[in-house]
Amino acid sequence: MGNRVAIVGIGQTYHKSNRPDVSQPEMVNEAVRAALADAQLEAKDIEASFLSNMETFEGIYLPDHGMADEIGAYMRSGLKVCTGGTSGASVVAEAFHYVAAGLFDVVMVTGFEKQDCGDTTAAITAACTPVWGKGVATGAIGEFAKQALTYMENSGSREEHAAMVRLKADRGACLNPYAHLKLGLKSIEEILASGYLVWPLRLLDFCPQSCGACALIYASESAAKKMAQKPVWIADVETVHQEPFRAGSFGDPTGLETYTQEVACERVYKRNGITDPIKDICMAELYEPSNWEELNLYERFHFCEKGEGWKLVEKGITEIEGAFPVNPSGGVIATNPIGATPTIRVAEAALQVRGDAGPHQVTRDVHTAMATALGGPNWTVLTLLKRSL
Amino acid sequence: MQIQDRVEQVDDLDRYVYHGRIDIPNSYSAGTVGSHFLTELRDKKIFLGMKCEKCNVVYVPPRSTCKYCFAKMDDSWVEVADKGTLLTYTVNFAPTAAQPAESPIIYGIVQLDGATTGFVHMLGEVDLEDLRIGMRLQAVFKPERDASILAVKYFKPLK
Ligand SMILES: [Zn+2]
């Protein structure tokens, strides 16, 4: 599968609902400079620049045309990727393909979203597939409300289990200096007292809209040998697509749909000799727009048997000090700058492999980690990282 | 069926077409250096540029990072003139609703004296037949100004 590719630089901004202090390029510049500093490289060392953003969400057509020069992409090769919610992981896979193919030795991947520019739910709803969605599209929240109800009905789990996931996420977010929502939640009761957003999803059950950016620097194996930073190897990437609007497979109520998550992880596990995912992989950063979806994803990625995802959180297995930590960063439910959200999953997983996650470094030694992404079309993108290949 | 026959039929097939309109609010941050440029333009009727000393480039509009050397320029502000030279222009006789001026609109790129870059704006008080690349221009400010590049009404020929 081509040349080996390592992540040798990681940088992100802090995340917040509003960043009126900076323009979109200035915000992205912060992440670019952080990644360059981490890699101990200069902008001139980067051969190609790959970007990810959900441009309709900010109401700016081609944001790169007002940004490339200011984020170190002036006269670079590269492109921008937009595949919905998965954009920030599709770009991780896309840039990987270029370096693995031997076209470049050092590239930068940058995901960004300045959500104070626009109205994300309005954009998702108004720009929904017009013929079959007009007037009945609900944005992401409605989709995940349906997912929550389907999960609850099929698994026999209770709201308390989703609340345990929310508590775990907040615990991680409070330890993560870059996380957006740090609520200091103390109890399950506190979460169950938050109002309904779209039934049965409560306010605390869903991700925020964040402003932020995240940048990664890749090096080919030969270039990585000369780099200052410890390499984190990209062992594998996978992308699986479908046409979901009519399938409705965010928590498929028909029980007949194939989940892209299962197709994607089965391919990755097979290629990488993973037979017992929560033993062979040491931790995961999942793209979970809601706490209920995290429970669903445990099952779809075969971390447990069907209908038993809630037992993982009940037993504390996915806590920071658990046997298989999930989202020690606080995850998407704490921090969600959409075009950067999946890039952050890869960045956080890579920091865990490096042992550089700081206060939210997991207890278990992480030699292998998986980052996932999920998008509006319910596409799945996976990135498998390893300390050595 | 031949392709030409199909092309001629497409408008008459009585297929349903959904007509929609997307109307979504937006708000953009001018940012660290953009905010200073625009408020000084509004309040003092001056144009500020950002200078990279290393590359000897003056950016108008300003930017916080030099595109050539990636240096953070921070506070290296310089004032440039409200007069400049027309680098190129075009005339739009059929403006859309998004273009805030009466037809015809003369768009010009003006290099203000002291700036390295061109500044995109409009031209006024000029006959179309007098337009020339290289002509000298002077900014005309609106009496009531927002912190926007439209605080400048247009550029007119410098007499
Ligand atoms: Zn410079």
- Interface pTM (ipTM) of the complex? 0.91
| Cα nearest neighbour of A72 on chain B | B70
For the full predicted model, state whether its pTM sits above 0.90.
Answer: yes
In a domain, B15, yes or no: no
Q: List the domain range (segments joined by +) for residue A101.
A: 5-119+209-227
Q: How confident is the model at residue A63 (pLDDT cuts 50, 70, 90)?
A: confident
In a domain, A202, yes or no: no
Q: How many domains does chain B have?
A: 1
Q: How confident is the model at residue B25 (pLDDT cuts 50, 70, 90)?
A: confident
Q: Which of residues 33-72 of B touch A (CB under 8 A)?
A: 33-34, 63-65, 67-68, 70, 72
The reported pLDDT for the residue numbered B53 is: 95
Selecting from A23, A60, A116 the residue whose C-beta is nearest the C-beta of B31 gives A23
In a domain, A268, yes or no: no
Q: Cβ distance A182 to A334 under 8 Å?
A: yes
Euclidean distance between CA atoms B77 and B59, whole angstroms: 10
Which residue shows structure tokens 């081509």? A2
Q: At what angle do helices A291-300 and A159-175 cross, to 10 degrees?
A: 100
pLDDT per residue over A341-389, tens digit each? Answer: 999 999 999 999 999 999 999 999 999 999 999 987 678 999 999 999 9
The reported pLDDT for the residue numbered B2 is: 87
In a domain, B22, yes or no: no
Which residue shows structure tokens 């969605």? A133
The reported pLDDT for the residue numbered A1 is: 62
In a domain, A77, yes or no: yes
Tell if the CB–CB gap between B18 and A60 is shorter than 8 Å.
no
Q: How confident is the model at residue A318 (pLDDT cuts 50, 70, 90)?
A: very high
The reported pLDDT for the residue numbered A244 is: 62
In a domain, B106, yes or no: yes
The reported pLDDT for the residue numbered A246 is: 54
Tell if the CB–CB gap between A59 and B30 is shorter than 8 Å.
no
CATH number at A81 reads: 3.40.47.10
Q: Cβ distance B117 to B111 under 8 Å?
A: yes
Q: In what order do the strands lie in the sheet with B57-59?
A: B57-59, B47-52, B77-80
The reported pLDDT for the residue numbered A204 is: 98
Q: How many domains does chain A have?
A: 1
In a domain, A279, yes or no: no
In a domain, B87, yes or no: yes
Q: Is the pLDDT of residue A247 over 60?
A: no
Q: List the domain range (segments joined by +) for residue B76.
A: 28-157
In a domain, A299, yes or no: no
Percent of chain A with pLDDT over 70: 98
Q: What's the average model confidence in pLDDT over A299-325?
A: 97
In a domain, A153, yes or no: no
